[in-house]
Amino acid sequence: MDIRDLIDSAEIKYRRILEEFFSSLWGETTLYSHDINHHRRVWQYVKEILLLQPDKEDEPEKLLMASYFHDLGMVSEPGFRHGARGRELFAEFLRTRNLFPDDFADVLEAIEHHDDKEYRNYAVDHNRILKILSVADDLDAFGYAGIYRYLEIYIARGISLTNVGHEIRENADSRFRNFRKGFRKYPEFFSRHRKRYHIIDSFMSAYNAQIGDSHADDYNENMEYQIVSMVSEMVKRGINPSGIKELCHDPGIRPGIRDFLDRLDNELNQHK
């Protein structure tokens, strides 16, 4: 069966069930950077990778499951152990479907270890589900959506606005190097996502320069600083980013910020 047919078959068989299970657990959790739309986007990136690198027939089903469970653990554990919690939740899902955990050992392992961004885990080299999931998750950390997503989770974890730009650049660079290692042999695919990486890297580089400029008289003149402050306030107040589109029509918003918000809204909602 063609890889596109296998992907379609996996979606028909499991996607609605997975989304219902996810939504029943996620509920009103206010961590929008890792809500169901993030998991939908990761699945879209997984599909792009599968079209480049098709292999086993059971992979689309397994990767669809992994895509929808990899960050579900954040419903109760927003820190670095959310993968372990997600593994527990996936094991619970398997039981509800009368599926055998031994048949999904690679998926369980992928969910637990997908957030190891030092890429030193032995399992990555021996678990293709983990390798693909990890890269797809990395791709959703780039671009305008990546800027928002990083800011929300890092602020939620207590990283200061003074340090957040440096932390983001370091983590995003690690993700990009891992992506480059595995995908630069696909020029069109690699080039498209390299541009998305440069969006977040350039943004945070400018922000870091503004924060570090002891001679700056008024940070409010700097677009990146204003955007980070705006997102920070949204996170603190638990405001859903779905309202960002409305800000674009505010006559007091600078054109550069309006353009950023419009692009962010498009990326966050492109796979709803």
CA 221 to chain centre: 30
Binned at pLDDT 50, 70 and 90, residue 51 comes out as very high
**Residue range 14-26: average pLDDT?**
96
For 164-187, b where at least 16 C-beta lie within 10 A, e where not — what string? Answer: bbbebbeebeebbebbeeebeeee
Return the pLDDT at 232. 86
Q: pLDDT digit string (tens) for 115-163?
A: 776 666 555 668 999 999 999 999 999 999 999 999 988 988 889 999 9
HSE-CB for 228 with a 13 A CA cutoff? 28
The mean pLDDT of the chain is: 88
Those residues whose C-beta lies under 8 Å from the C-beta of residue 270, and which sit 6 or more positions away, are: 41
Q: What is the spatial distance between Cα 70 and Cα 59, in angstroms, rounded to a whole number?
A: 16
**Residue 56, pLDDT above cutoff 90:** no
pLDDT recorded at residue 22: 96
**Cα gap 111→89, rounded to integer Å:** 10
175-222 pLDDT, tens digit per residue, is 999 999 999 999 999 999 999 999 999 999 999 999 876 555 555 578
Q: Tokens for 4?
A: 């596109």
- For residues 121 and 53, what is the distance between their CA atoms, to the nearest angstrom? 22
Query: 200 is written with which tokens?
Result: 């977040």
How many residues are present in the chain?
Answer: 272
pLDDT in the model for residue 120: 62
pTM of the model: 0.90
| Spatial separation of the C-alpha atoms in residues 108 and 113, rounded to whole Å | 9
Give the angle 197-33-152 at the CA atoms, nearest 5°: 85
Residue percentage of the chain with pLDDT more than 70: 89
- DSSP letter for each residue of 111-148: HHHTT-TT---GGGGT-HHHHHHHHHHHHTTSHHHHHH
pLDDT at 85: 93
What contacts 255, CB < 8 A, 6 or more positions away?
none
Phi, psi angles (nearest 5°) of residue 51: -70, -25
Q: Dump pLDDT digits (tens) for 209-263.
A: 998 765 555 555 788 998 898 888 888 877 777 766 666 566 667 778 888 888 8
Instruction: Let me know the angle formed at the C-alpha of 131 by 197 and 111, rounded to the nearest 5 degrees.
Output: 100
Tokens of 266: 């498009």
Rounded to whole angstroms, the Cα distance separating 209 from 155 reads: 19
Q: What is the pLDDT of residue 254?
A: 77
Name the pLDDT band for 64 (thresholds 50, 70, 90).
very high
- For CA atoms 242, 244, 203, 228, the dihedral sign is negative
Average pLDDT over residues 42-69: 94
**Is residue 76 scored above 90 in pLDDT?**
no
